Amino acid sequence: MKWYLSLLIIIAFFSRCSSDKSDMALPADPVINDSVTITFTKDIVPILQTYCYGTGGQKCHVSDTNLGASGDFTTCSGLISKVNNGSLEARVFDPAGGMPPSYSLSPQELTDTALQTLELWVAQGTNCD
């Protein structure tokens, strides 16, 4: 009788584990097609608005003098300066770069789609349209 009860418990445990896997969400982010032209206004500004400009009263990267944030990303030239000096790659593309920062009220982690869009924008020559 003991072994029967033990067997039922083990079966119940493993059946629950297998159903847990089916509940797991699959990644929803699409892979960016390299043939798509990425532009600052259409593609990059929405990413900056979500992750960089701040929410809930925070104002980051919206002027050169705000709250210690370096750079005004409301203009294409402001972000291009970070591309040219390597800090965009070091701070955003490198997982150890720390952007967005932990104290940000914005989402704490860029989606794969956002990262791919930024990388493709840089690879395509930072189109400011």
Reading the chain (129 residues) residue by residue, the pLDDT tens digits are 665 555 555 555 555 444 444 444 444 555 677 788 999 999 998 988 887 776 554 555 555 454 445 677 778 888 888 899 888 888 887 777 777 666 666 667 888 888 899 999 999 999 998
Tell whether 113 is covered by a domain.
yes
Tell whether 79 is covered by a domain.
yes
How many structural domains are present in the chain? Answer: 1
Q: CA-to-CA distance for 64 and 72, rounded, in angstroms?
A: 5
Tell whether 3 is covered by a domain.
no
Tell whether 26 is covered by a domain.
no
Question: How many contiguous H segments (helices) and E segments (strands) does the chain have?
Answer: 5, 0
Tell whether 68 is covered by a domain.
yes
Integer CA distances (angstroms), 42 to 45, 62, 128, in order: 7, 18, 10
Tell whether 14 is covered by a domain.
no
pTM for the model: 0.64
Structural domain that includes position 53: 32-123
